[in-house]
Structure 1
Amino acid sequence: MPRLPSLSSPPLKPAKSHRAHPPSLSLLADSCTSMRQLVQVHGHMIVTGRISDNYAASRVLSFAALHPSGYLPHALALFSSCPSPNSFMYNTLIRALAASPYPSRALLLYPQMLLQGPPPGRHTFPFLLKAAATDGDLFAARQIHTHAFRHGLDSDLYVANGLIRSYGNCGFLNEARQLFDEMHERNTIVWTTMVSGYSQNFCSNEAVALFHEMMRTGIEPCDAALASVLSACARLGGLQLGRQIHELIIEKEIVVGVILGTALIDMYAKNGEISVARKLFVEIPERNIATWNALICGSAHYGHARYALELFQQMEEELEIQPNDITIVGVLTACCHAGKIDLARRVFHSMEKNYGIEPKVEHYGCMVDLLGRSGRLKEAEELVKGMKWEADVVVLGALLSACRSHGQIEIAERVVESILRLHPENHGVYVVLSNMYAEVGRWEDVERLRRVMRHGGLKKISGWSCFDGTES
């Protein structure tokens, strides 16, 4: 049995007569509040021979696997020592593993369950599907779907909801929607799962349309559904609908927790209503890293650079929440808008040391944009060369744009070569470079590029734009 962590809870006193009251140890296991207490009960069960009873063993396993003070390795060790675990023990362990950092282990337990005999039931499949959804395992989701169908449980409300969530998490929204449409009964959970699936896969229009249908059906939305549609409004620029949802929350007196509060702040911030977002940020009782990021990034994007940097400083001083890679993107964006090159350098070069965050393409893109705007093109080029992986078109495009603004043709030529290695069909770089040649009167180079474009069959791609017509 694995060594348990040091725990300081008071020990439980054993029952006075185990033989006179055999169920007492099982009841004691249910009333435990710490692993120290549970281990004592477990020991008494072993001494009295009760642990060979699956009912008694399942009570110990349930606490160790699912209780907030439990210890999953203890449950796994107990399970492996049982000669014939029952379906409750399998379901409990599958449930615990599905919620653990290793959801694939729940999926591996299922074939063992099939081999050893206890048949899967309506409590088995939802947790298996949760594991498949968390792991993004489409193959497993489809296999579980087949098994649920064979057992006549695919139409069970909770199994069907798990299937919709699994297909949605794997990006197969057509399959998820087909299951949703075929259901004869839908509760709030099922509607929320489908709306969330659309929102998480950036199908914002579909999420909003389904939310409207949900409201017309008379289903009361829960906070998870409201948070999902608010996220869709944030991406669509749907400020009007976002305000209506906020009014609904106030009217229904829905408690604004950290998830719903963050969704509201994000919606207002991404729609430029920074003052409203700031007010909500102050009012909500609990904040997580996503809450801070929503306001920092929104403020930085809309030019409230000073406020974004003040927020970052406040976040560091509180010491309760550690910045992540999204936070740093917001800070670097704020530095870019404010022209704070030295601060941006310090933050960028201290990411790994101070926060344990390895710079990503987005961080390099921010730095290249900042250095390019200030005319430090050689430094920007050296930064790109020093990347651990090859720069993408976004980073190189930012550098090329800066070269054009400052007339730096030599660096622009090298950047164009790099972009063409990644995307040989990218004609836009020829146009940029040709215009730069024309501005300094290098007409032979202009004609050379035009010949390359003609002989390469390159055509200009039409531009496009979109707008949200819901606002008046």
Structure 2
Amino acid sequence: MVSSISTMSDKPDKFSVPIALKGCAGLAALKVGRIIHGFLKKDDEINSDMFVGSALIELYSKCGEMDDALRVFKEFPCPDVVLWTSMVSGYQQNGNSEQALLFFSQMVMKEGVVPDPVTLVSVVSACAQLANLRGGKSVHGFIIRMGYDTGLSLVNSLLNLYVKTGSVDNGKKLFGMMYEKDVITWSSMIACYAQDGKTTEALNLFHKMIENGFQPNSVTMVSALQACSAASNLGEGKKIHELARQKSIELERSVCTALIDMYMKCSRLDDAIDLFRRSPQKDVVVWSVLISGCAQNGQANTSLQIFNSMLCSGCRPDAVTMVKVLMACSELVILQQALCYHGYLIASGFDDKVYVGAALIDLYSKCGCLNDSIKVFEGMSERDVVVWSAMIAGYGIHGLGQEALRTFNQMIETSVVKPNSVTFLSILSACSHAGFLDEGVNIFNRMEREYDIEPNSEHYGVVVDLLGRTGKLDEALRMIEQMPIPPGPHVWGALLGACRIHGNVTMGDIAAKHLLRLDPEHAGYYLLLSNMYGEDGKWENMTQIRTMVKMKGLNKLPGQSSIETGSRVVASY
């Protein structure tokens, strides 16, 4: 290409040069592009052409050389909308969304250049990258005023903004108003529902998309599979798997990873491992999903074995993988290997990441090394809500209710971080373990009143446990009966446990009736009920329960304990 330009008899013009530069940009051929740029500097007419300038900026942007792109831009005293758009797009595509928005602001406010739809796609995408919902909604209003709100690519970028910022209502409204939809539109809305936990809506929309004649692509299937994973919906997941197989995209990296995650969430380890073995691209993400899935299914020891296989394969773990490994160590309560992994994190420069710190705090707390948890916590320059919640939970595990309360109050009074649902679950559990009835009830009442967080079934279960531990069984039952949401098995389980402790068989029977209706296959509840009858001398009732367990073929899940022997972890059941 270069030799033909330098020797051709016909002089390069402002029409052929942009085509050549765009070819270089598409191939990321920076060296060739620089040579062409060098030839252009000898021809002022071509070098000053804005289309040529735009092509040069695109070349340097695609190759990650934004300083060179900026130098080209500054050579034009009165850049037009195409040049401005090239710079905004370049910064956004290179991950510098703040600079992209700064350029856009200067373009419109200072220079008075009117943006076109292509400019605005990059601006909306920059807002999405920054999760800047407020800025994105302002741009949305600007788009409406400009009359650009019917362009499909621009509206799709707005929908993507609402997906990235979790704004389901805004996304749903925009989706409903769209005259034209394509696969990207449907996929974005399905992702919006899936990421917000609205799994039924996501899967219903997936089926509606197919009914309307749109064929889902790999992006669509990944979002639908995420919904199946969140809902543990194996039936729908297997249907999507079959569709992926028919489309020959079953083993595409993103689809295969989502399928493995779905099977893990549905406790189908064999199916997940089979897919993993057949996967042609075993990157760090799919290894992490497999490690995490085994730990979530009570196979933490297997998680560590898989991690060792990952290392032997030459795949280098990232910080996310190491967090999954630390979670497995937490489940096994093994300290020696955890210390080795912590050393690896430090050596790899991962220890400064907030989510790694949270995992370390959780790990050391569960391994009985609370002082190490405190050291990690106090050594962190940045603490998010997960870190604060992990430290509060750590104090709770060790029965240090006062320290948990102090940390909770410190979080509220001295940091900008607001407690979330998990934080309240952690502090309520700490109060329950310490028997702090008044403090626990007070915090529970503040959840919705002060922080607009609606208690879920787990929160109610902990408070019922707290009331039960302190002998307030009537209050516990009254709370259950007044719950605005259906009480789950663990709520009635907490009451049954308290009834056993305090010998209240009458109320225990009430709790058991609900438990055996809600979760008739849970052997642990039958065991709890049987023990309550035995301790009260009701041998006939106890015998009936144990006979029922045998007839149903139920077995209490065995506990797993682990012993570290040198560098090996031996699991026993």
Q: TM-score, normalised by structure 2?
A: 0.67
Among 93, 97, 104, the residue aligned to 2:98 = 104
Checking the alignment, whether the CA contact within 8 Å between 1:35 and 1:71 is kept in structure 2 is no
Cα offsets for 1:144-178 (capped at 9, x unmatched): 11221122111211111111111222222211110
The answer to whether structure 1 residue 412 and structure 2 residue 409 are counterparts is no
Alignment partner of 1:75 out of 69, 77, 81: 69
Shift of 1:399: 4.8
Other-structure match for 2:21: 29
Higher RCO (CA-CA < 8 Å; seq separation 6+): 1
Matched, 1:64 2:60: yes
CA contact (8 A) 1:233 1:242 kept: yes
Question: For residue 293 of structure 1, what is the amino acid of its counterpart?
Answer: S
Structure 1 residue 262 displacement after superposition? 1.1
Change beyond 3 A, Cα 1:137–1:354: closer
Paired letter, 1:432: H
The one-letter code matched in structure 1 to 2:306 is L
Tell me if the contact between 1:266 and 1:277 (Cα under 8 Å) persists in the aligned partners: yes
Matches within 5 A, 1:353-432: 353-358=347-352, 359-369=356-366, 371=367, 376=368, 379-384=369-374, 386-388=376-378, 392-401=388-397, 403=398, 412=400, 414-415=402-403, 417-418=405-406, 421=409, 429-432=430-433
CA contact under 8 A between 1:427 and 1:460: conserved in structure 2?
no
Query: Partner residue of 2:141?
Result: 146
The 1:70–1:230 alpha-carbon spacing in structure 2 relative to 1, beyond 3 Å, is: same
Change in CA separation of 1:430 and 1:161 when aligned onto 2, cut-off 3 Å: closer
- Distance, in Å, in 2 between the alignment partners of 1:303 and 1:172 is 35
Larger CA deviation: 288-297 vs 92-101: 92-101
* Pair 1:119–1:419, CA change in 2 (3 A): closer
| Counterpart position of 2:487 | 464
* 1:180 partner amino acid: F
* Aligned AA (2:400): A
Name the SS for the 1:47 alignment partner.
coil
Question: Secondary structure in 1 aligned to 2:31?
Answer: helix
Cα distance change on mapping 1:429 and 1:419 into 2, 3 Å: farther
Q: How much has 1:352 moved relative to structure 2?
A: 1.7
Alpha-carbon distance, 1:180 to partner: 0.5
- Answer with 35-44 or 111-120: which moved more: 111-120
TM-score of the superposed pair, with normalisation by structure 1: 0.80
Closer, same or farther in 2 for the Cα pair 1:239/1:51, shift >3 Å? same
Q: Partners in 2 of 1:423 and 1:92 — Cα distance?
A: 44
The percentage of aligned residue pairs carrying the same residue is 22
Structure 1 residues 308, 60: CA separation in 2 closer, same or farther (over 3 Å shift)? same
Deviations 1:370-413 (A, max 9, x none): x1xxxx4xx32453355225863444435534x4xxxxxxx535
Pick from 89, 111, 119: which aligns with 2:114?
119
Q: Does the 8 Å CA contact 1:381/1:399 hold for their aligned counterparts?
A: no
Q: Which of the residues 232, 237, 243 maps onto 2:238?
A: 243
What's the C-alpha RMSD, in Å, of the aligned pairs? 3.4
- Aligned counterparts of 2:393 and 2:135: Cα–Cα separation in 1: 40
Q: How many correspondences in the alignment? A: 427
8 Å contact kept, 2:228–2:234: yes
Q: State which of 218, 233, 255 in structure 1 corresponds to 2:213.
A: 218
Q: Distance in 2 between matches of 1:17 and 1:219?
A: 49
Q: Secondary structure at the match of 1:243?
A: helix
Unaligned stretches of 5+ residues in structure 2: 413-423, 438-465, 473-477, 490-517, 520-573
Instruction: Quote the Cα distance in structure 2 between the aligned partners of 1:29 and 1:419.
Output: 59
Name the counterpart of 2:540: none
Q: What is the Cα deviation at residue 243 of structure 1?
A: 0.9
CA contact (8 A) 2:288 2:321 kept: yes
2:142 partner SS = helix
Cα distance, 1:249 vs. partner?
Answer: 0.8
Alignment equivalent of 1:335, drawn from 324, 329, 338: 329
1:54 matched to 2:50? The reply is yes
Distance 2:282 2:180 in 1: 36
**Tell me, what secondary structure is at the counterpart of 2:374?**
helix
